[in-house]
């Protein structure tokens, strides 16, 4: 699946997107965040406070407990402010 990173999440990881194949044990958005966190220092820094990270699966906002199976694209971004 393709994973995209936006704003300071992208800056901390050092890339805008990548293709990944998480293990079958990774079933939800929150489990994916935990798995990504273990991939290195930049990921750990980007996801150090997972409660503030927002996610979208195939361009639809989702909660952390949503299953990722069948997802073509998952995006992670920090909270947004409007104005």
Tell me the Ramachandran region of residue 14: left when phi exceeds 0, alpha when psi lies from -120 to 50, beta otherwise: left
Q: Give the CATH number, domain containing residue 35.
A: 3.10.20.30
Answer yes or no: is 12 within a domain.
Answer: yes
Torsion of CA 9, 12, 16, 20, to 10 degrees: -90
Answer yes or no: is 83 within a domain.
Answer: no
pTM exceeds 0.85 for this model: yes
pLDDT tens over the chain, length 83 residues: 999 999 999 999 999 999 999 999 999 999 999 999 999 999 999 999 999 999 999 999 999 999 999 999 999 999 875 54
Count the domains in the chain: 1
Answer yes or no: is 82 within a domain.
Answer: no
Q: Tokens in use for 13?
A: 């990881």
């Amino acid at each position: 699946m393709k994973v995209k990173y936006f704003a300071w999440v992208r800056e901390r990881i050092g890339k805008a997107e990548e293709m990944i194949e998480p293990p079958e044990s990774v079933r939800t958005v929150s489990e994916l965040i935990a798995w990504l966190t273990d991939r290195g220092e930049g990921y750990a820094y980007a996801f150090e406070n997972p409660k503030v990270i927002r996610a979208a699966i195939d361009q639809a906002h989702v909660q952390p407990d949503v299953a990722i199976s069948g997802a073509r694209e998952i995006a992670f971004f920090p909270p947004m402010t409007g104005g």
